[in-house]
Amino acid sequence: MRQLLVTLAALLISGAAFAAVDVNTASEAELDGIKGIGPSLSGRILKARQQGPFKDWRELMQRVKGIQPRSAHQLSAAGLTVNGAGYEATTGPAQPPTRAP
């Protein structure tokens, strides 16, 4: 019984430690804390975010070099969100940004 309680307590603690990090509000340190995001990628995210918040995963993938569907899935699984939403494969591939003539 004691071992069961210890196991449950450990699960609760580990579950509390996993918290979603939203790309639009996260600090550089919070972004770096996501598995798969290092200093280079967090810098690109923060630079792109200066243009305005990301509406969705598709826009994040369009504006930040190095984030593709596979990496978006991995980052989402590690706790990254865009406006509180995780990446879904149905989001589809990013479309190239259009430029005004």
Strand pairing category for 80-81 and 21-22: parallel
Q: Name the DSSP letter for residue 95.
A: P
Q: Which residues contact 2 (CB under 8 A, 6 or more apart)?
A: none
pLDDT band, residue 91 (cuts 50/70/90) = very low
> How far does Cα 1 stand from its chain's mean position?
38
Amino acid in the structure at residue 44: R
| Beta-bridge partners for 82 | 85
Q: Rounded distance, CA 81 to CA 72, Å?
A: 10
pTM for the complete prediction? 0.71
pLDDT, position 73: 96
Q: What does the pLDDT look like over 44-57, one tens digit per residue?
A: 999 999 999 999 99
